Amino acid sequence: MPFAFALTAEHPTLTLPVSMLLVFGSAKLLAELFERLKQPGIVGEILAGVVVGPSVLGWIGPNENISFLGELGILFLLFRVGLEVRVQELKQVGRTGALVGVLGVAVPFIAGWALLRVWGKPQIEALFVGAALTATSVGITAQVLSTEGLLNRTASKIILTAAVIDDVLALLVLGVVSSVAGGSVNVVELAMTTAFAVGFILLIGGWGGHAARKVLPPLRERLRIGESQFALAMILLFGLAALSEKAGVAPIIGAFLAGMAMGEALPHRIHELAHGITELLVPFFLAGIGLRFNLQAFSSRSTLLLAAMVLVTAIVSKVFGCGLGTLSYGRAVALRVGFGMIPRGEFCMVVVQAGMALRAIQADTYGVVVFMAVTATLLTPPLLKLAFRGVERHRADTELSVG
Amino acid sequence: MPFAFALTAEHPTLTLPVSMLLVFGSAKLLAELFERLKQPGIVGEILAGVVVGPSVLGWIGPNENISFLGELGILFLLFRVGLEVRVQELKQVGRTGALVGVLGVAVPFIAGWALLRVWGKPQIEALFVGAALTATSVGITAQVLSTEGLLNRTASKIILTAAVIDDVLALLVLGVVSSVAGGSVNVVELAMTTAFAVGFILLIGGWGGHAARKVLPPLRERLRIGESQFALAMILLFGLAALSEKAGVAPIIGAFLAGMAMGEALPHRIHELAHGITELLVPFFLAGIGLRFNLQAFSSRSTLLLAAMVLVTAIVSKVFGCGLGTLSYGRAVALRVGFGMIPRGEFCMVVVQAGMALRAIQADTYGVVVFMAVTATLLTPPLLKLAFRGVERHRADTELSVG
């Protein structure tokens, strides 16, 4: 594209400034409206995507540039959350986090599979929908916990630990289901993939901070470019995100690990710079979720009913599974963790795309899963707010200094 | 794109983290190398695009997502420059700026047209190449002046004023040339377009600051969303960029005006947040220039020779025209302004695309103009450094506080 201002793919009349204004402006407008209605602003930002998107006004489609900004936004969001979290703190809740991760994958998988079987769908399609219900999309929860100043709570640490484990397990489930659909299960290959992913996380999680503290300060001393610390932080962020992809886990896990590794080594200034980027990009991640939503995708009332039932199953099974894993911390914490693990996102889409590529699931199911993911995500912020009611907030310095 | 990580258009194997790492990492690596060779780091960042792009390694093409980030980057760059500049200061050099703008458009236009005529090209093609040589792409100069702490110098203020006027005049030239190629010149329409563009700039430049100071603080008081000031700044930035497009001028002019309007009203914190965004995105703007460069585009030695002559003409005519307009400030300032106005960019591409759409210019000419734009831009930072040698630098607070 030699042109100065790239046009968006689906709506060739929208220039860069117009599409930025439309998405960012509508997100902030609806966030303000929701705050005034004493609802979470984040829900308004997601709904802004529904409103300006194909479902209502149709001003903008889920186009590639907006998606790109949103994906970049969620990387920075997890990076920033990582900056505020210590590995040591996650280790303290490691056993519970693992249990939550395992139950939070197993229960929704079985529940989703069972529902589709009862509904009369073929075995392989049921397995794929079960797999689509497994992975939590931790971005929304992380954003709520971060802006509400709740990242230092026990429930938050359990959620973050469980989300990392959850991601690896969901990958494993998808691998098994895809292999079944493909006709043969290669146990050795699946074991290798999982071991690689686990090894990557343990290596970076365990040694990343140590290595960052050893390598980065002397390296930075020698660099002559301006803002060298920021440049190093970005390279580590993109580098670990790229590596985590190679290792088979989601790039946001790499971004989170990069944030944790750099957490203590980075001065306040880098937090501020990264905060500006997050503030700009996160609305694109949020509205981007809403943009995917398309009610016209439902071809029949029966599909709509199935969507509603998948949604209920997705929420109840996740809250039950994750809550069960946290019961040793008491009911209040269990509920917070359960609610925090509800959101589904990118992984669902990956599963459904894989299923469609293997001709294992029908086109309708795509709409059902997207509906489930968007709606479950929309319901999470108010549920979290409810579960954390009365809990003391700890605002980070950057939040306090809001002018 | 329902997928979590959009693949780039031309290189489907590059995921988001990999393409971010590749462009950002190579830009910073070459910037560091250039700083060590006592050369401007900014040149290294542009060359990084040449190295990883189609000309050398071919790892990545000029793809849409990278362009999008670069275009966003230049918007933020001009916004930030606007934040540091007062309208009053520009008014003081208004007459000189206007003269520089006029001469800096007229001389390159005539020189480019004459060269192509002497070369034996048809009249209409010569007019288009002349038009392509007119508009300065102020982004590179703004970045150099900003990072070197030179924005408060007289030459810098003349450059910024002239760049705004230059943009309107270049638009007028393109309008005339396109009309000639189309067969009829609608004087009324051209006059209307120009009047609209001038009116927009005078209105926002003259009243924007006043309106921002009146409207924004009370509005902000009432908003309940977090970081409301930042959100308002972004909406004003994208809004004025979109409006300036509608008014017929480049979106970066709107971004610059938005920055100037908000300059005094914004607290230090917003500067920091915008600074983080600029630090992330500007390398994509710079490397993006290099990515466009493709030596393989030259079909013959004669084209290569023409490219070299167009390059020399573009540089000499701009320095001469703009320098002439600044002579009342003495030779040193005249040279600084002349060098600062050399870079060409997006506008060239728009002109050549328009010419090709009207079948007025040959495909070869496209390569020639791109070569001229990239090379002229590459030569600007070292020339500027030379012209400002010995001049006292004024580092902004944000630059001083680099950890």
Does B32 contact A223 at a Cβ distance shorter than 8 Å?
A: yes
Predicted confidence (pLDDT) per residue in A35-54, tens digit: 999 888 889 999 999 999 88
A202 near B CB under 8 A: no
The answer to whether residue A55 is domain-embedded is: no
A13 confidence band (pLDDT: 50, 70, 90) = low
Locus of tokens 């930075």: A220
Token digits of residue A25: 């402006």
Q: Which residue of A has its CA nearest to B37?
A: A224
Average confidence (pLDDT) over B101-105: 96
Give A185 or B389, the one with higher predicted confidence. Answer: B389
Predicted confidence (pLDDT) per residue in A290-319, tens digit: 888 777 767 688 888 999 999 999 999 999
Q: DSSP letters along B283-341, please?
A: HHHHHHHHHH--GGG--SHHHHHHHHHHHHHHHHHHHHHHHHHHGGG-HHHHHHHHHHT
Predicted confidence (pLDDT) per residue in B256-267, tens digit: 999 989 887 777
Predicted confidence (pLDDT) per residue in A174-194, tens digit: 888 888 887 777 888 888 888
CB B2 within 8 Å of CB A62? yes
- What proportion of chain A, given as a percentage, has pLDDT over 90? 49
The answer to whether residue B36 is domain-embedded is: no
Give B218 or B266, the one with higher predicted confidence. Answer: B218
Would you give the DSSP letter of residue B185? -
The answer to whether residue A209 is domain-embedded is: yes
Residue B85 has a pLDDT of: 85
Residue A360 has a pLDDT of: 86
* Of B135, B71, B119, nearest in space to B351 by CA: B135
B395 confidence band (pLDDT: 50, 70, 90) = low
Q: How far apart are CA B238 and CA A22, in angstroms?
A: 9
Token digits of residue B27: 């830009």
Distance of residue B69 Cα from the nearest chain A Cα, in angstroms: 8
Q: Tell which of B13, B21, B171 to mutate to test the A interface (max A CBs under 10 Å).
A: B21
Rg, Å, chain B Cα set = 21
The answer to whether residue B59 is domain-embedded is: no
B-chain CB neighbours of A6 within 8 Å are 64, 67-68, 71
* Of A98, A218, A235, nearest in space to A162 by CA: A98
Q: Is the pLDDT of residue A10 over 60?
A: no
Would you give the DSSP letter of residue B152? T
B206 near A CB under 8 A: no
User: What are the phi and psi torsion angles at B227 (to 5°)?
Assistant: 50, 45
What rounded mean pLDDT belongs to chain B? 87
Residue B144 has a pLDDT of: 92
Predicted confidence (pLDDT) per residue in B326-383, tens digit: 999 999 999 999 999 999 988 888 888 888 888 888 888 888 888 899 899 999 999 9
Q: How far apart are CA B193 and CA B172, in angstroms?
A: 8
Residues contacting A297, CB < 8 A, separation 6+? A366, A367, A370, A371
CB B371 within 8 Å of CB B293? yes
Token digits of residue A305: 């009913």
Does A15 contact B269 at a Cβ distance shorter than 8 Å?
A: no
* Of A341, A351, A340, A345, nearest in space to A372 by CA: A345
Q: How many residues does chain B have?
A: 403
- What proportion of chain A, given as a percentage, has pLDDT over 70? 94
CB B306 within 8 Å of CB B94? no
Average confidence (pLDDT) over A214-222: 88
CB A146 within 8 Å of CB A384? no
ipTM of the complex: 0.87
Give B191 or B109, the one with higher predicted confidence. Answer: B109
Residue A20 has a pLDDT of: 96
Predicted confidence (pLDDT) per residue in B44-67, tens digit: 999 999 999 888 888 988 788 898
Average confidence (pLDDT) over B2-6: 31
Q: How far apart are CA A256 and CA A76, in angstroms?
A: 9
Domain that holds residue A124: 71-400
Average confidence (pLDDT) over A74-101: 91
Q: How far apart are CA A181 and CA A205, in angstroms?
A: 34
Q: DSSP letters along A110-169, please?
A: HHHHHHHHHTT--HHHHHHHHHHTT---HHHHHHHHHHTT-TTSHHHHHHHHHHHHHHHH
The answer to whether residue B164 is domain-embedded is: yes
CATH code (residue A156): 1.20.1530.20
Q: How far apart are CA A383 and CA B299, in angstroms?
A: 64
Residue A380 has a pLDDT of: 94
Would you give the DSSP letter of residue A296? G
Distance of residue B146 Cα from the nearest chain A Cα, in angstroms: 12
Predicted confidence (pLDDT) per residue in A108-127, tens digit: 999 999 999 999 999 999 99
A-chain CB neighbours of B273 within 8 Å are 272-273, 275-276, 279
* Of B332, B218, B212, nearest in space to B264 by CA: B212
Residue A322 has a pLDDT of: 96
A-chain CB neighbours of B21 within 8 Å are 235, 238-239, 241-242
Residue A301 has a pLDDT of: 85
Would you give the DSSP letter of residue B341? T
The answer to whether residue A1 is domain-embedded is: no
What rounded mean pLDDT belongs to chain A? 87
Distance of residue A161 Cα from the nearest chain B Cα, in angstroms: 21
A356 near B CB under 8 A: no
With b for 16 or more beta-carbon neighbours within 10 A and e for fewer, the A49-74 pattern comes to bbbbbbbeeebbbbbbbbbbbbbbbb
Q: Is the pLDDT of residue A237 over 80?
A: yes
Predicted confidence (pLDDT) per residue in B157-206, tens digit: 999 999 999 988 988 898 888 888 877 778 888 888 888 888 999 999 88
CB contacts under 8 A, A 164-193 vs B, are none
Q: How far apart are CA A296 and CA A54, in angstroms?
A: 9
A207 near B CB under 8 A: no
Q: DSSP letters along B46-83, please?
A: HHHHHHHSTTTT-S----HHHHHHHHHHHHHHHHHHHH
Q: Which contacts qualify for A216-219: CB closer than 8 Å, 24 or more apart?
A: A216/A262, A216/A265, A217/A265
Tell me the three state secondary structure of residue B214.
helix
A21 near B CB under 8 A: yes
Q: How far apart are CA B2 and CA A292, in angstroms?
A: 7
Looking at the partner chain, which of A20, A242, A269 has a beta carbon nearest the beta carbon of B403? A269
With b for 16 or more beta-carbon neighbours within 10 A and e for fewer, the A119-135 pattern comes to eebeeebbbbbbbbbbb
Q: Is the pLDDT of residue B403 over 50?
A: no
A400 near B CB under 8 A: no
- Angle of CA points A346, A349, A355, to nearest 5°: 145
Average confidence (pLDDT) over B281-309: 86
Q: How far apart are CA A182 and CA A383, in angstroms?
A: 39
Predicted confidence (pLDDT) per residue in A337-354, tens digit: 999 999 998 888 888 888
B294 near A CB under 8 A: no
* Of A306, A331, A295, A322, nearest in space to A380 by CA: A322
Residue A272 has a pLDDT of: 87
The answer to whether residue B4 is domain-embedded is: no
Q: Tell which of B45, B71, B256 to mutate to test the A interface (max A CBs under 10 Å).
A: B71
Looking at the partner chain, which of A226, A251, A401 has a beta carbon nearest the beta carbon of B5? A251
A-chain CB neighbours of B241 within 8 Å are 16-17, 20-21
Residue B55 has a pLDDT of: 82
With b for 16 or more beta-carbon neighbours within 10 A and e for fewer, the A209-244 pattern comes to beebeeebeeeeeebebebbbbbbbbbbbbbbbbbb
**If 0-12 CB within 10 Å is exposed, 13-18 middle and 19+ buried, where does residue A29 land?**
middle
A18 near B CB under 8 A: yes
Q: Distance of CA B347 to CAs A5, A318, B193, B343, Å?
A: 11, 54, 17, 11
CB contacts under 8 A, A 116-155 vs B, are 147
Q: How many domains does chain A have?
A: 1
Residue A343 has a pLDDT of: 94
CB B313 within 8 Å of CB B376? no
Tell me the three state secondary structure of residue B182.
helix
Q: How far apart are CA A181 and CA A187, in angstroms?
A: 14
- What proportion of chain B, given as a percentage, has pLDDT over 70? 94
Residue B13 has a pLDDT of: 65
The answer to whether residue B173 is domain-embedded is: yes
Residue A395 has a pLDDT of: 59
CB A347 within 8 Å of CB A250? yes
Give A294 or A372, the one with higher predicted confidence. Answer: A372
Average confidence (pLDDT) over B109-138: 94
Predicted confidence (pLDDT) per residue in A122-154, tens digit: 999 999 999 999 989 898 999 999 988 999 999
Q: How far apart are CA A4 and CA B74, in angstroms?
A: 10
Looking at the partner chain, which of A15, A65, A72 has a beta carbon nearest the beta carbon of B64? A65
CB contacts under 8 A, A 216-235 vs B, are 223-227, 229-231, 234-235
Does A16 contact B251 at a Cβ distance shorter than 8 Å?
A: yes
Q: How far apart are CA B304 and CA B295, in angstroms?
A: 9
A-chain CB neighbours of B345 within 8 Å are 4
pTM: 0.87
Cβ atoms within 10 A of the Cβ of A253, count?
A: 26
Q: A299-303, A323-327, B34-38, B322-326: which has the minimum mean pLDDT? A: A299-303
